[in-house]
A = this chain, B = another copy of it.
């Protein structure tokens, strides 16, 4: 039964915050397919994975059975510095849309990384410190993950080495400076510091880099020096596990007021935010306790769910990482320049891919001008300037609320507002100046990359 009135923002008390992450794989009948060793075609063992990743994170990656994984106290203490994140009732948006729908969003942007990425960064840094490592390496594109990891490493006194796609390094000097403020070393990729970087620089003189190349450099940097491991901000099962804190908090806040969402919407790049937000609700659906609609929103320019293949593929363009079974556009697919950098990934979390394949979720794709239109509309009434990634979810939520206006249906909509757009003003400027273009890959283009998928699994 709903307690009234519902406040603008529902915060949990500290003692209402989750003490364990929820592992949705435990409730899945069809488990996500295992990572494969590209050399042998066999599932990656814990030992093989531990050469690259921290031991405890490997255990989490492979754990398909335990429903709850306790959150260590030190991580919970860090969470308390910026969490619980608010669950916001979008009263003003509802009024402006004149919709009978009730709209809620879980806002993850109130921390210096500007997004939900910090939830997993702090966990990964913690386990690295527990293992007695000196530091970690990673790649970053737009810079949110790199920033989050820098913050986490500063907190635990770990060295942090970030390979930043060269074009972003040059175009986003502010992001770079934020990372330096937290003591991270930031190297434009491809660099001359690694074999793979030197090889790429030799083969493509003047290249401005790519996420795939930065991943390869970060992996080499971790495996070639003592006391380092590589960490990744999305796609992996462990990341979805850590991000379940988003959904657990959202559900606890809704439960306090007896609110049950009809539809839950999130943007989808690698799947970390969407997977985290929907996890505990999906658990109820998987266990047959309650039904929900789940909607993944992806950019029309990078439509892995809606137009990709469900197949084994490389996670990186450099093909140094294990193979994952997922909805993919092919690891050779280079997404057109969409301004939502966090959604420009050719693949998708294996866990979400399996759930989508089994019919538990829907997916839609939206063009970026429509996304920025929604972003601006939202900013002007709800105040928050959203990240382009998050605005994909806003677009879908607005469209859903408008449908309710037409049908008169009083739906309860929950969406994930993953972050803020303060470092994305170049994109907003293009939108304001009418210079933003929409890109949609042709069927021929997608077929070409799909034909190049590895013949495994």
A-to-B contact residues, CB < 8 Å: 7-9, 11, 13-14, 77-78, 80-82, 88, 91-92, 110-112, 114, 151, 154-155, 173-174, 177-178, 180-183, 376, 379-385, 420, 422-423, 425-426, 428-429, 432
Q: Are A173 and B7 in contact (CB under 8 A)?
A: no
Please pick, from B13, B88, B177, the residue contacting A428 in the complex, using a CB distance under 8 A: B177
A80 to B11, CA, bound (A): 12
Using Cβ atoms and an 8 Å threshold, which residues of chain B touch A111?
A: 383-384
Q: Are B379 and A182 in contact (CB under 8 A)?
A: yes
A153 to B291, CA, bound (A): 41
A278 to B8, CA, bound (A): 27
Known: A181-B376, A182-B380. A429 touches B173 (CB 8 A): yes
Using Cβ atoms and an 8 Å threshold, which residues of chain B touch A151?
A: 383
Using Cβ atoms and an 8 Å threshold, which residues of chain B touch A110?
A: 110
Please pick, from B8, B14, B88, B173, the residue contacting A14 in the complex, using a CB distance under 8 A: B8
**Least Cβ–Cβ distance between A90 and chain B, in angstroms:** 9
Q: Are A425 and B383 in contact (CB under 8 A)?
A: no
Q: Are B112 and A384 in contact (CB under 8 A)?
A: yes
Further 9 A-B residue pairs, CB within 8 A, beyond A154-B380, A174-B422: A7-B80, A8-B77, A8-B80, A9-B80, A81-B88, A112-B383, A154-B381, A173-B429, A181-B376
A426 to B432, CA, bound (A): 25
Using Cβ atoms and an 8 Å threshold, which residues of chain B touch A423?
A: 174, 422
**Least Cβ–Cβ distance between A205 and chain B, in angstroms:** 28
Among A14, A114, A380, A428, chain B packs the most CB atoms within 10 A around the CB of: A380
Q: Are B174 and A380 in contact (CB under 8 A)?
A: no
Please pick, from B81, B92, B382, B428, the residue contacting A181 in the complex, using a CB distance under 8 A: B428
Among residues of B, the one whose C-beta sits closest to the C-beta of A12 is B11
Using Cβ atoms and an 8 Å threshold, which residues of chain B touch A429?
A: 173, 177, 180
A11 to B376, CA, bound (A): 29
Q: Which 6 A-B pairs have the closest CB atoms?
A: A174-B425, A8-B80, A177-B425, A154-B380, A7-B14, A112-B385
Among A82, A381, A383, A428, chain B packs the most CB atoms within 10 A around the CB of: A383
Using Cβ atoms and an 8 Å threshold, which residues of chain B touch A155?
A: 92, 380-381, 383
9 A-B residue pairings within 8 Å (CB atoms): A7-B13, A7-B80, A8-B77, A154-B379, A173-B429, A180-B429, A180-B432, A181-B385, A422-B423
